[in-house]
Amino acid sequence: MKERTYRPASTYKASYYNFTIPVPEAQAYLLYNSLYNVLLEADWQEGEALAEWAELPQIPQKSLTDFDPDVLELLVQNGFIIETDEDEAEEISARIRQQQQSRWRNGTFNLTINTTNACNMGCPYCFQGDHTKLKGERKFFDEETQDQLMAFLEREIANPITERITALGVTWFGGEPLLRPQVIQNMTRRFLEFCERNDLRYAAEVITNGTRLTPKVWKILQEARIENVQVTIDGPREFHNISRPLLSNNTERNYDLILKNLSQMPRDMPLVIRINVDKRVYQELYRLLDDLQDHGIWPQRANNVTLDLSRKRWYPISLEDPSIYFTEDEFYDVLDNDFRETKIRYFNQWAETQGIQPARRRFQYPDSAPNWFCGTAADPYGFALDDHGYIYRCWEAVNDNVRRIQHLTDPYELDRHEHKLWMDYHKFFKDPVCRECKVLPVCSGACPEEHFNGNRPCQAWKFRLEQRFKDQYLMSLEHPDQIQSLEEVLAEIKAEEEERKQEAEKEKALREAAAAA
């Protein structure tokens, strides 16, 4: 944040990105500014004054003169009150340009690799499949394609289109990627050798249905330096087995097989369990939580197992009653309240039997540095690869031969329209609704595909910001033993921002040293 101080000779206005949140139960206001991601407590009169100023093109000079000078200085320093000639839209534009420039300064090979397009499940809602396969095309990422990928990396590291390349990140995807674990084994060995030789950081994750996570495969993933595993479970046994059926005759073993596999996970392996829910599934969710606990998966391993709730969406082609699906607002209400309380209750009931300190709610707070660009769609070296070596700018386009951009063996030409369409997209410039949104500065809804399809990937903060802050603030006053205090979470955010600042200074010093050399 730029250094600011109140100057009596200047004229001022309220920031467009202010939220003034009355909390009559505490005779207080919460003041939040999304442009600078700052949350302050204020007394009732101060909050009412800021709310009134928001309706005016300019704050009357007498109002400023009569205001508490210490509070006024605090509001100016944190961007709640700005000089009338200040252009906040230009501040956002500058941040976007900065993120864009950073992607060109520090290039990352950000690859999503389909080890195979085949899958052992027949999920009716899945966008993946063999429907666009051409005759004679491969069914997995074979040795020839692996060689082509390594040749591509060698060409680009020798003559990069970015100032430098600092890392290689891989997401193993499918189909079901673990139908071909040998691809992960072989490519990881080659990737690590490549990274060591070129001084690149390496990170990898895998998205899998969980049916192939045998002890042998877990060991392969450990040796492949996998830092995160994501597995989807569509609720308790009967819901999951219907939504995510195995193609074999052992469909009834699907759910239990996955839980057995997860129970054998190495102790230090991070896991995200994505739970797709509609209203019916959510009503029975406790049975999935019971099963996870019975298998020793969660809450026993809460330090490295995360439960992530995801909203099932209704599509016009669906034959189901749309009323069984959550609206966005209904889903976020469940996510904010009931699901959080349920997880805390389950964890603390288990913790009590183990003599472990009970958990408190984390005070939810927007990301101070949201990524406004999709790493696959927007990064110069960010793309998805199908099992034939074709490049796409979106995971959901993989295996659709109409949306292929080029092959690994072709010259890498980012001035092609098919690349630029994705890389140049930003909702602030392209979508007038997003441009006017007061939550935009802390929004990470960066998916161009959603916007191309006429949707907006709005996040919970769009709908729940004021209510979230108010509910958490009141809880911190009434039940401080159950939730982080506002002071605690603000201290965490300050530490994170200081760390980012140090990283930025370090990066600047490296660039200057390289330029001098």
pLDDT score, position 249: 64
**How confident is the model at residue 1, as a pLDDT?**
64
pLDDT at 130 (0 to 100): 47
pLDDT of residue 512: 67
Q: What angle do CA 18, 24, 26 make, to 5 degrees?
A: 100
* 334 within 8 A of 466, measured Cβ to Cβ: no
Query: Is the pTM for the entire model greater than 0.95?
Result: no
Q: In this structure, what is the dihedral angle of CA atoms 435, 441, 442, 444, given to the nearest 10 degrees?
A: 50
Alpha-helical (H) ranges within 13-83 are 44-53, 61-66, 69-77
CA end-to-end distance (rounded Å), the chain: 31
Whole-angstrom Cα Rg for the chain: 25
Residues of the chain with pLDDT under 50: 129-138
> What is the reported pLDDT for 134?
39
How confident is the model at residue 132, as a pLDDT? 42
DSSP letters spanning 410-459 = S---TTSHHHHHHHT--HHHH-HHHHT-TTGGG-----HHHHHTT-----
Q: How far apart are CA 285 and CA 112, in angstroms?
A: 31
What whole-number percentage of the chain has pLDDT above 90?
A: 65
Check residue 371 and give its pLDDT.
75
State the Cα angle at 433 between 50 and 21, rounded to 5°. 25
